[in-house]
Amino acid sequence: MRLVNRTLSICICSTFLIFPFLIQAHESNKDGGINVEKLLETEKSWDGVAYQAYPKGTPQLSVLKITVALNTSLPWHEHPIPNATYVLKGALTVEKKANGEKRTLKAGEVVSEMVDSAHRGYTGKEGVTLVVFYAGQNGLPLSKPAG
């Protein structure tokens, strides 16, 4: 357990140490081989609700590639942890159960998902391929059916 925490700490610290150099290299070499583009930076989900806190316990990052066929509706669900979705190809409409608020996402777009709020996604005439990044806790599910 101690080794896992130490390894995670080293990885996080390394990321923070290396990132500024990548930005600096990008700014000083704009027509070179490095391009950094910030896709999302937020403290709230797509519907404007602020994130409260990360779960306590051992951090666990998960990244899923999800492909949803055309004309498919995902079940209503909730996420107990913050996560963000990047649309690789296709389109997805996300819908909030409480008030029917919707947002359609297309290839190249990213969305910060809701925490502890029932929602679903559905496709239309084309399917969608997503990459979803979860910042959770060991033993905590990534999603659960909406109650």
Cβ atoms within 10 Å, residue 138: 10
What is the per-residue pLDDT across 67-84, written as a single tens digit (0 to 9) for each? 999 999 999 999 999 999
Tell me the pLDDT band of 29, cut-offs 50, 70 and 90.
Answer: low
Instruction: Quote the strand ranges of the chain, DSSP E.
Output: 59-68, 77-78, 83-96, 102-106, 110-112, 119-122, 128-137, 144-145
59 forms bridges with which residues in the sheet? Answer: 137
Taking 90 as the threshold, does the pLDDT of residue 23 lie above it? no
In this predicted model, what pLDDT tens digit does every residue of 37-61 receive, in sequence order? 999 999 999 999 998 888 788 899 9
The reported pTM is 0.73
- pLDDT of 18 reads 53
| pLDDT at 55 (0 to 100) | 79
pLDDT of residue 57: 85
Place of tokens 């806790």: 137
What domains can you pick out in the chain, each with its CATH number?
1-37 (no CATH), 40-145 (2.60.120.10)
C-alpha 52/C-alpha 80 separation (Å) is: 11
Give the pLDDT confidence score for residue 54 in this predicted structure: 80
